[in-house]
Amino acid sequence: MLTIHNLSHQGTFDASHLASAGLAQVADRLHQDHLREGRFSFLLTGILYANAITTVSPTYAREIQTPEHGVGLDGFLRSRADVLRGILNGIDDAEWDPATDPLIPHHFTADELEGKERCKVDLLSAAGLPYRHDVPLVGVVSRLAWQKGFDLCEEVLPAMLARRRFQLAVLGTGERRYEDFFFRLAQAFPRQVAYLPAFSEKLAHTIEAASDLFLMPSRYEPCGLNQMYSLRYGTPPIVHRTGGLADTVWNYDPTTGRGTGFAFDHFDATGLTWALGRALDLWGDGSGPELDRWRKLQRNGMRLPLGWSHRIGEYLDLYRLVAPEA
């Protein structure tokens, strides 16, 4: 069985390395058109010969069969669609549990959420931002990379911060362009934005616990874990509807009370503006009827079955299908 995480990483090498890779004797089993072009791919070879192929979310399994997300391998994956299956990743729900997490200053549960607000007070104080109960905090914990959709943030966040009431706490490092953007954003909005150019496991847990919303506008996302951590911590995510984000974050409907967050379909500034605006509108001033709706949204996410114990059965079923005699 071959499991694909990010299809962009294919293990493609110049054909001159066949001998040093120990593959010269089996070159006839590699893709011959690629060899004639002077290259060979470990991933493609696995796709051609695996008894079963999995990837880390059902939506990504469909997406990688399209030219938009197939990174040149979509035709091969379509030809093996009968053995391709998406199984959603899980999280360690013992490590990521707001009721017991040793890395956050105050604990809380879906039924008792007061500790979440105390986490927010502490984080804002440490970050040098003022606390107001009626202003929501949007968190970002990410590698700052093109894949993660931060070019949309460049287009959307300055104008939104200027005209809407919310704060932003960003933790992460990566491409210089995005680091510079968040530095400038924090300088332009010193009472609204804090940028922490680092990686810290403790801060990652704290931002998940303290934030009212989590921003994850990925261009593509095979599965994603941070949106699941956010759901577990009562922090509704704002996401682009792609890959595993589409499989875990569904637009909240205040009429029915169903949904787990805010998802936009089109990867553009209009889409992100709509989703962020809708989240802020639902928040309102964080009190009254808006608070009741917000609590329902939070609890929907916190009660989702996101741990690995809910995924193991799908893998066992697949193993039995591939190797029933085992």
The domains of the chain are located at 2-86, 114-305
> What pLDDT is recorded for position 287?
82
Complete DSSP assignment for 39-62: EEEHHHHHHHH-S-EEES-HHHHH
Task: Name which of 211, 243, 209 is nearest 225 in CA terms.
Answer: 243
- Beta-bridged to residue 307, according to DSSP, are 91
114-305, superfamily in CATH? Answer: Glycogen Phosphorylase B; (3.40.50.2000)
> What pLDDT is recorded for position 146?
96
> What pLDDT is recorded for position 305?
95
- Divide the 326 residues of the chain into consecutive groups of 10 and give the mean pLDDT of each group: 93 91 90 91 92 97 97 96 96 97 98 97 98 96 97 98 98 98 98 96 98 98 97 98 98 96 98 98 86 96 96 92 74
Cα dihedral 4/10/11/15 (nearest 10): 140
Q: Kind and range of the H or E element at 241?
A: none
Q: How far is Cα 104 from Cα 263, in angstroms, rounded to an integer?
A: 27
Average model confidence (pLDDT) across the chain: 95
Amino acid at 233: Y
> What pLDDT is recorded for position 326?
59
- Residue 62 in tokens: 């469909």
> What pLDDT is recorded for position 289?
76
SS3 for 141?
strand
What is the value of pTM for the model shown? 0.94
Q: How far is Cα 157 from Cα 116, in angstroms, rounded to an integer?
A: 25
